[in-house]
């Protein structure tokens, strides 16, 4: 029996320290919800998780860009629907103006409404979305993935001659109305093509947005398997470490008391 070197106490203290570290680690994981609380927990896993986090954030940003592009296209189509209604009314007025029973006063009233509607079409061509022209021939590059690849969204140009000539038309006479009707019919056909282009853009962007949503879900699930703590499993580890700490504390107290028995030999 020795007094200066208590091997039992040293061993007990070391084991208690290890149990305490395990308990602290479990507490940290349970409180943060992450099983990687420091790089040494899983160095390779942390590196992969960081890349997954960055890619997931980029995908979210790309989805946001696509959402704005869809809003842009839907705004375009909203104006084009109104232009369609206007052109239909203008074609109706051009047809009414060719009625042989209409006098000059009637034609003047038709023409007044006709010119006002043509002015509306001209005004629509100047509209923008957050400072970006809604109706120009330029294509817009929309970010569609985490690598910043883009989809060229075709533009819709309302400044072409097909639409511009409307402001110079008149239904003030039967012959003018006949000429105007032909131009309006051409504009309606062109508008149908433009709305088809916008619809194609929206359809493509919607499918891309859905694809990114699925990709992000799968990426987040893979990342979760790397870094998220399994609460049930970690709770078991916590209970085990807690018991070991309590037992270690008790045993260390017993080990520290062993040298006291040497006093009995001196009595």
Secondary structure of residue 132 in the 3-state scheme: strand
CATH architecture of the domain covering 43-227: Up-down Bundle (1.20)
C-alpha closest to that of 191 among 183, 180, 203: 183
Q: What digits encode the pLDDT tens for the residues 9-58?
A: 888 888 888 888 888 888 888 888 888 888 888 899 999 999 999 999 99
What span, in angstroms and rounded, lies between the C-alpha atoms of 237 and 231? 10
* Rounded Cα gap, residues 78 and 193, in angstroms: 15
Phi, psi of 103, deg, nearest 5: -90, 180
Q: Mean per-residue pLDDT for 5-12? A: 82
What are 210-246's pLDDT values in tens digits? 999 999 999 999 999 998 888 888 889 889 888 888 8
End-to-end Cα separation, the chain, in angstroms:
15
Q: What is the pLDDT of residue 11?
A: 86
So what's the pLDDT on residue 124?
94
pLDDT above 70 (res 1): no
pLDDT above 90 (res 8): no
Per-domain boundaries in the chain: 7-33+229-266, 43-227
In the prediction, which pLDDT does 39 show? 86
Tens of pLDDT, residue by residue over 60-111, are 999 999 999 999 999 999 999 999 999 999 999 999 999 999 999 999 999 9
Does the pTM of the predicted model rise above 0.75? yes
């Amino acid at each position: 029996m020795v007094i200066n070197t208590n091997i039992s106490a040293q061993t007990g203290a070391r084991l208690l320290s290890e149990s305490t570290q395990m308990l602290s680690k479990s507490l940290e994981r349970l409180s943060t919800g992450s099983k990687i609380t420091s790089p040494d927990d899983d160095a390779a896993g942390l590196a992969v998780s960081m890349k997954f986090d960055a890619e997931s954030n980029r995908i979210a940003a790309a989805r946001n860009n696509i959402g704005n592009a869809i809003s842009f296209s839907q705004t375009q189509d909203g104006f084009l629907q109104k232009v369609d209604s206007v052109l239909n009314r203008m074609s109706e007025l051009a047809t009414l103006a060719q009625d042989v029973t209409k006098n000059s006063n009637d034609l003047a009233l038709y023409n007044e409404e006709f010119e006002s509607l043509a002015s509306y079409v001209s005004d629509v061509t100047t509209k923008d979305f957050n400072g970006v022209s809604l109706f120009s021939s330029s294509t817009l590059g929309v970010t569609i993935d985490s690598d910043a690849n883009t989809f060229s969204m075709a533009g819709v140009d309302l400044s072409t001659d097909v639409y511009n000539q409307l402001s110079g038309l008149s239904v003030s006479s039967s012959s003018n109305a006949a000429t105007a009707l032909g131009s309006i019919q051409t504009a309606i056909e062109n508008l149908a093509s433009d709305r088809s282009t916008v619809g194609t853009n929206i359809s493509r962007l919607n499918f891309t947005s859905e694809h990114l949503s699925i990709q992000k879900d799968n990426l987040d699930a893979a990342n979760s398997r790397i870094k998220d703590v399994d609460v049930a499993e970690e709770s078991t580890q916590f209970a085990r470490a807690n018991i070991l700490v309590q037992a270690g504390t008790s045993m260390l107290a017993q080990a520290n008391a062993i040298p006291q028995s040497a006093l009995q030999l001196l009595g």
